[in-house]
Amino acid sequence: MPTRRSILAATLLVVAATSACRMDRRDGYGETSEQAAIADTLTRIVKHAYDFSQPDVVDRLLAIYPDTGRVVSATGGRVVTSRDSLDAGIRTFWATVGQNMQDARTEWGPILVDVPSTRAAVVTAEYTVPHRTPRGDPHVIGGAMTLVFAKRANQWVVIQEHLSDIDPVGGNTTTP
């Protein structure tokens, strides 16, 4: 009898395999109007959650994750698998870094969305957040993210993610 873990692993394998076989959504090859609508919805969700120029950043960031169940998050060389750990990490980021960013604005590089089914999708994107430090010095944080979304109870939520920081030397997250 399949376990919940094996079903999730199989689902993610299918999502990854399907995503690898799809072309970039910008060319529209083989994409249905429903897939395009899902991709647009997820792009809006991600941009809204990561809009550092608006208030309530922590609440908006946490809103993209399910309230219950496992959430896998890989960032900074660490992996967490619980909503509580993810919540603590986001709140720590905000307390130590985020709330000190003045005049912050999120700028997006490529946002690539693959929609292998009406209940699962993958978003991969590059972003930077130019801002000023409390001393007024210009500073930028950013990186790349891959978010695996699942539709649960009629809501899109992130069930797995990988966030990587921008290269502090070259400032480039894109590889040729």
CA distance 52 to 76: 20
- Residue pair 89/73 in contact (Cβ under 8 Å)? The answer is yes
Q: Is the dihedral of CA 107, 171, 46, 86 positive or negative?
A: negative
pLDDT in tens, 104-120: 999 999 999 999 999 99
With respect to residue 121, please indicate whether it lies within any of the assigned structural domains: yes
Q: 39 is in which domain, residue-wise?
A: 4-165
Structurally, the chain folds into a number of domains equal to 1
- Confidence class for position 73, pLDDT limits 50, 70, 90: very high
Reported pTM:
0.78
Q: Give Rg (Cα) of the chain.
A: 17
With respect to residue 170, please indicate whether it lies within any of the assigned structural domains: no
CA distance 145 to 157: 15
Amino acid at residue number 21: C
CA distance 56 to 34: 31
With respect to residue 171, please indicate whether it lies within any of the assigned structural domains: no
Identify the CATH number of the domain in which residue 103 sits.
3.10.450.50
pLDDT in tens, 159-168: 999 999 987 6
Of all residues in the chain, the percent with pLDDT exceeding 90 is 75
